[in-house]
Every structure is written in C-alpha cells, then in structure tokens.
Amino acid sequence: MEDNEIIRLYHQRDEEAIAQTDLAHGAFCRRLAFHLLSNREDVEECINDTWLAAWMRMPPDWPASLRAFLGRITRNLSISRFRKMRAAKRYAGMEVLLSELDECVPDNATQLQLEQRIISEIITHWLDSLDREERILFVRRYWYADTVKELAAEQGMTANQMARRMQRLRESLRLTLEKEGVEI
C-alpha cells in the first residue's frame, strides 16, 4: 500500500492504518530503534509508542514523507527513553552516538543557547553544503543511526578509516555551529 493510502487510513480513523504502517515501515523503524536502544524489548515498546504517536498526530498531520515522519517519532521516543532510563539501563547505540555528537558542540557552547529550531536550520544548511556522498554518510550515521562498521563495509573501507571520515565531518559541523552561533 502506498504511503498516501496509509495516511488516508489514519485520517479515516481506520486501525488498519497501523497494520499497514507496520508492514510498510515497521522494519525500518525497528532497525532505527535497535541501533539507538540496543535492546529488543525496549525496541518493541518504542515501536508501539511510535504507532500510538502516529495515530495521535494523524489527523491533523499529513506528512509529505511518512517514513521521515515515523523516523522522527522513533528518534524522539528513543532519546526520551534514553533520558528516562539512563541510570537503570545502558543503551550502547545511543551512548556512542551522543558521545560522537558531543564532539560537534562548539567550544563557545556555554555562550550559545540556541533554540532547537536554529540548530536544525544550521545543520540543514551545512548538510546542503556537503557533496552528496558525504551528506548521505552523515545522515546515515546520525539520522538513521547506521553503525560505523556497516557504513565502512558498504564503502569497502575499514572501520577506522570510516571513523576518521566521520570525525572530519563532525569537526566541520562543529566549526559551522561555532561560526553560525557567533553570528546569530
């Protein structure tokens, strides 16, 4: 079933929407959640919460990209779960991801209290400035949470080489945030 058909089911309050969403995007959302939470039980809870959130948001929402819409919900729920459970559980995927993203935080971060929206805009513009291959790599790592090992295997390089490439990209983003943040 095409995404627009699935969204239409949500707007008609037809529970078939959830079954069809699971069929069309379940594997994608589970993969994303698993990379972030690293625990199957938590992944299933996160996915159930994702379907519930989608049900609550459509209507009124009619997302242009259902997959991106569901992925954002999964990411938000995963980080919420991480915040809530960090004392009790270790979510290896998320911890590694966040520690890497910590490297993107500018040196002058304490002076920078940027709104989330602004951070997102800066990242979006920065991604546009990259060449396609670099952009896809970064999005695959930090949006889809694909592992460095997976990306390295696909690119035919070692994990170390991929890690260094990611490090260069993070450094580039850090400099951009620092520069843009100062200008803001």
Q: What are the residues binding other proteins (CB under 8 A)? A: 1-5, 12-14, 16, 20, 23-24, 28, 64-65, 67-68, 71-72, 75-76, 79, 83, 97-106, 109, 112-114, 116-117, 119-120, 122-124, 127-128, 132-133, 135-137, 139-140, 142-144, 146, 150, 153-156, 173, 177
How many whole angstroms separate alpha carbon 176 and alpha carbon 184? 12
What burial class does residue 116 get, using C-beta atoms within 10 Å of its C-beta: 0-12 exposed, 13-18 middle, 19+ buried?
Answer: exposed
CB of 144 to other proteins, least distance (A): 6
DSSP string, 111-178: G----HHHHHHHHHHHHHHS-HHHHHHHHHHHTS---HHHHHHHHTS-HHHHHHHHHHHHHHHHHHHH
Nearer to other proteins, 1 or 163 (CB): 1
Q: How far is the CB of 65 from other proteins (least distance, A)?
A: 4
Question: Nearer Cβ to other proteins, position 48 or 129?
Answer: 129
Instruction: Report in angstroms how near the CB of residue 168 gets to other proteins at its nearest.
Output: 16
Closer residue to other proteins in complex, CB, 48/120? 120
Q: What does the longest C-alpha to C-alpha distance in the chain come to?
A: 50
